[in-house]
Each structure stands twice: as structure tokens, then as C-alpha cells.
Amino acid sequence: NAGVTQTPKFRVLKTGQSMTLLCAQDMNHEYMYWYRQDPGMGLRLIHYSVGEGTTAKGEVPDGYNVSRLKKQNFLLGLESAAPSQTSVYFCASSEAWAGQPQHFGDGTRLSIL
Amino acid sequence: AQSVTQLDSQVPVFEEAPVELRCNYSSSVSVYLFWYVQYPNQGLQLLLKYLSGSTLVKGINGFEAEFNKSQTSFHLRKPSVHISDTAEYFCAVSSPAGNKLTFGGGTRVLVKP
């Protein structure tokens, strides 16, 4: 029972490089989310999706892009990585928005040098 | 706009002692409230949630929380902690018609033997 799977688990990038983080869920959830976690700041929503082919901006979208080409996958892209994007990134999915719990992956630790 | 304040960033507690984690929120509309737990190097897991009805909510692992509308609080309690409760705990809020989950900054609980 995989739930939400994130790849890779760790990555080190140089400033200016690009990369894509992959999130896959096997629960047939409509909604998917990308968060970043920084010490003392909790989780902040980057982008989210309410269904295949849809995406929307969250609280901190600058410097990131996303795509939801398939219902089970949600990709987060960094076009030109900056040191300020060093963080732990979490993907989550849920059946609906408000009252349903979100199911989280184990995170991707990303360091930008 | 909604916001969540977790008043304690760290809470040390001895094994078998009680613990209370404080959470206050601000919102101009009705809210749904959640507590999540994050064990080291893992994603977040739902502990409990308040949607409506009884203000005392029981969750997993012996945790409970009480919704207090007049004080805009949702404090988490456990009467007797175990070493395995060492983790970071996050309070979160959303509105029934809202479009995002807003997290507090987290409280690290360290259970000492």
C-alpha cells in the first residue's frame, strides 16, 4: 500500500540548475498539493491541483512550476534553482479540499549550493 | 485570511507525564481544524480533526483536542506520553469553502526517559 510516493528523496543542485520532483499517488485522489517545509514556518503551499489537467498557485509559487498530466502524478519543477529554494518538499493528496485529511509523502530534501 | 499560531516551538516532557500543545487560529469564517504529527524523516500523518459537533475530539495514539470557539483555540493533549511520541506536531486550519490548508509553525515534542 504505497500511498504517496516522492522521488527523489535527496538532491543537491547548483544555483541555476533545473530539476523536476515527481509525486505519485495510488489512492485515486482528485486533489494534489506541493508544500515546502522550512524550520519554524510549518508547511507552506506552493501549488495545488483539483484534478487532471488543472493547477493553481498557492502561498509561495514564485520560482516553481507544476503539471498534472495524469491524475496520479503531480510534478514540481524548478527552472533555475536558487539557494532560497533549499528546503524539504512534501507532496500530498486528498479526496476533497476542506474536511478530508491530506495524505503526505515522505518528502524530498533539496539543497541548492 | 487565516493564520495559525503554535505558541511553543519546543516542549520537553518526561515519559508518562501529560503534555499540552497550544494552538490558536484566526479566521473571519467558520473553520475546520486539524492536528498532524511528523516523525523524523517522514511525512505528516493526521492525528485528529474537528469539523463540527462535539468540541472534544479524540484521535489516534491517545491524543485529544478541544475546540474553543470563543478563545479561537484548538489545544492538543495527551495524559501520559511515551518515548515514541517524540515528534513534531502541526496544527492546521481550513474553511469549509476554502481553497487551502494553513499550517502553524510546529511544536517539537521531546519525550525524556
pLDDT beyond 80 at B98: no
Quick one: pLDDT at residue B5? 95
Residue B74 structural domain: 3-112
Tens of pLDDT, residue by residue over B19-29, are 999 999 998 78
DSSP B55-106: SEEE-GGG-EEEEETTTTEEEEEESS--GGG-EEEEEEEE-TT-S--EE---
Average pLDDT value for chain B: 93
CATH number at residue B26: 2.60.40.10
B95 vs A: CB within 8 A:
yes
- Residue A56 clears pLDDT 80, i.e. is over it: yes
| CB contact at 8 A, A21 and A88 | no
Q: Which residue in B101, B35, B36, B45 sits closest to B74, CA to CA?
A: B35
Give the bridge partners for B64, in sequence order.
B58, B77
Confidence of residue B99 (pLDDT cuts 50, 70, 90): low
Structural fold of domain A4-96+104-112: Immunoglobulin-like (2.60.40)
Closest Cα in chain A, distance from residue B6 (Å): 10
Q: Count the domains in chain B.
A: 1
Inter-chain CB proximity B34 and A92 less than 8 Å:
no
Q: Is the pLDDT reported for residue B1 higher than 80? A: no
pLDDT of amino acid B22: 97
What are the extents of the domains in chain A? 4-96+104-112
